[in-house]
Amino acid sequence: MITLFDLSGKNDLRFSPYCWRVKYLLNFRKITYQAKPTCFTERMNNTFFGDAKLPTITDDGIKITNSFNIAEHIENKYVDIDQRIINSDNKSSLYFINHWSDHFLNASILERVAYDIISVLDDKDIEYFIESRSKRFGMSPKDFQARNIKKSENSFYKCCNFLDKILEKQRYLLGENITYAEMIVLGSFTWGEKVSKNTQIEKKFERLSAWKKELTITLGH
Ligand SMILES: N[C@@H](CCC(=O)N[C@@H](CS)C(=O)NCC(=O)O)C(=O)O
């Protein structure tokens, strides 16, 4: 049985893009799992985690961290080789998309939500979040979002435009079939939407909007 330590906020809100990647895959595979809501400071104060971030899973006593590693583990352990959506043919493309999403899509979202996130955090996480992010940004989350909101309109727009263009020639991000690329990118949009109103996909990106709508139904929310 898989136990997933899932980042949680106020009122049990689950917002981590990386945890959503894993949950979307588990839903897609119809694998039952136990989710353990874990807030930032619970992770930090629990020696079980060490350096491990969220998501972390345990599966039959084995601990696995990092969403990509977890996804590979799930596919390798639970899915027949010819059915896997992470496989030797697409792994390098998925690796590319994983990094693109972290460095471009997630970065553009963070610039639009860094301060809004605070309003959805568990009370006991607020001080930790402001302190750790101020260190990372070199300024408070409030200033970081205020300073970047205009600039990131452009970078978020470009990311949406890029994805919309890909979907012009093919139904899914890597071709005609669902792969783990859908879980990666959908996880990012879900994160943005759960914590802020600043990451709506513009209506003009019709293909991307339709892709998101379909996958949200297929992969659960
Ligand atoms: N590359 C990692 C990123 C995981 C990550 O950064 N998780 C965040 C939550 S979204 C976390 O646990 N942060 C802990 C902290 O900031 O204290 C993955 O794909 O799993």
CB 79 within 8 A of CB 102: no
28 lines ligand 1 (CB under 6 A): no
Q: Where are the domains of the chain?
A: 2-83, 91-219
18 lines ligand 1 (CB under 6 A): yes
Q: Which CATH architecture best describes the domain 91-219?
A: Up-down Bundle (1.20)
CA 190 / ligand 1 centre spacing (Å): 15
Instruction: Tell if the pTM clears 0.85, that is, is over it.
Output: yes
pLDDT value at residue 153 = 86
How far does Cα 197 stand from its chain's mean position?
17
Please determine whether the domains at 2-83 and 91-219 fall in the same fold group of CATH. Answer: no
pLDDT value at residue 221 = 67
Q: Which of 23, 196, 27, 169 is nearest to 114 (CA)?
A: 196
Mean pLDDT by 10 residues, the chain (221 residues): 97 98 98 97 96 97 97 98 97 98 97 97 98 98 95 92 97 98 98 97 97 96 67
The CA distance from 93 to 97, in Å, is 6
Q: How many helices (H) and strands (E) does the chain have?
A: 9, 4
22 lines ligand 1 (CB under 6 A): no
Which positions ≥6 away from 57 have C-beta within 8 Å?
Answer: 2, 3, 4, 5, 22, 33, 63, 64, 70, 73
Q: What are phi and psi of 45, to 5 degrees?
A: -95, 5
Which positions ≥6 away from 22 have C-beta within 8 Å?
Answer: 4, 55, 57, 67, 70, 71, 74, 183
pLDDT value at residue 150 = 87
Dihedral sign of CA atoms 185, 189, 194, 195 in order: positive
User: Which ligand 1 atom lies nearest to the CA of residue 65?
Assistant: 20
> 2-83 has which fold?
Glutaredoxin (3.40.30)
